[in-house]
Amino acid sequence: MVVGILAVLSLALLSVYFRESSDGPLHGAQDVGATAIRPFQVGAERVARPFRDLYGWFDGLLEAKEENEKFREENARLRREAIQNRTAVQENLDLKQLLDYQDIPGLEDYRPVNTRVLGPQSPFGKRLLIAAGSDSGIRMNAPVLSADALIGEITELSPNTAVVTLVTDESSAVAAYSIRTGALGLIQSGEGGSLAFSNVTKDKDVARGDVVATAGSSVPRLPSLFPRGIPIGAVTSVSQSDTEPFKQIQLVSYADLANLRTVRVLVR
């Protein structure tokens, strides 16, 4: 009963409110009420504003952290792709250099196997693991070249990989000669990872800048492991002592032995 009376009264007031002018008594009462509660609205706004601002700050912070995480992941992905692309481009260039390698007379009896370097096989970097083995026709003691020079020989073998011992290893010895004069000697490990052109007698003419290459073998019954004429390096210094029977000759390899990515193995 009371609810019905209140409903009818509310409808009547609404009807009067909408029909009267803006300066009527009901509009005046509304303005008075609004004016009376405005201080409370202002106070509530002032109290709520710091909490609303704090909430907005935390919400923005969380969104920023999520965006930063997305950017970090995207940057990491792009960085990985860039590294992979640069590596692939460099390997392709290295392989092209191997394919463009000028054939040396005497190499027609050999078949080249071009392959990638997987990494060092010894802590001192004088042995390398390569991505080809006996399944590719590679044999023990096969000569291994870079695009520029002889770098070593195969000393360990498996079906899909092989180990290359570099010419800078203490166990390596390669018969070699000076292309300019024909002076014979051995390429062996020198000081600080360099190469030494040893066993060259004092009467032989060897000078700085001379190109030294593999000597090969002229005796058919005793074939050399390395074909004749493969470049090894250039002479950087020559000296001799009254007490020593041989010259002291230092060599620098034509190959960048510390940064090999692809190699060529010569197989028969």
pLDDT at 193: 75
Task: Give yes or no for residue 26 having a pLDDT over 90.
Answer: no
pLDDT at 176: 95
pLDDT at 169: 93
Domain ranges of the chain: 1-100, 109-267
pLDDT digits (tens, 9 = 90+) for 95-127: 555 544 545 666 778 899 999 999 887 777 799
CA–CA distance, 256 with 236 (Å, rounded to integer): 16
**Tokens at residue 95, please?**
């392989």
Phi first, then psi: give them for residue 204, nearest 5 degrees.
-85, 145
Say how many C-beta atoms besides its own lie within 10 A of residue 256's C-beta.
Answer: 13
CA distances 44 to 34, 38, 52, 55, 216, Å, are 15, 10, 12, 16, 98
pLDDT digits (tens, 9 = 90+) for 190-243: 887 789 999 999 999 999 999 999 998 755 555 578 888 999 999 999 999 888
pLDDT at 204: 94
Query: Side chain identity at 60, as an amino acid letter?
Result: G
pTM: 0.62
CA–CA distance, 163 with 119 (Å, rounded to integer): 10
CATH of domain 109-267: 2.40.10.340
By C-alpha distance, which of 178, 177, 179, 137 is closest to 154? 137
Angle between helices 2-19 and 25-99 (to 10 degrees): 80
CA–CA distance, 178 with 197 (Å, rounded to integer): 10
**Tokens at residue 156, please?**
């360990």
Q: What is the DSSP string of 196-257?
A: EEES-BTTS---TT-EEEE---S-TTS--SS-TT-EEEEEEEEE--TT-SB-EEEEEESS-G
**Tokens at residue 228, please?**
């004749």
pLDDT at 23: 60
Q: Between 117 and 48, name the one with better pLDDT.
A: 117
Query: Side chain identity at 35, as an amino acid letter?
Result: T
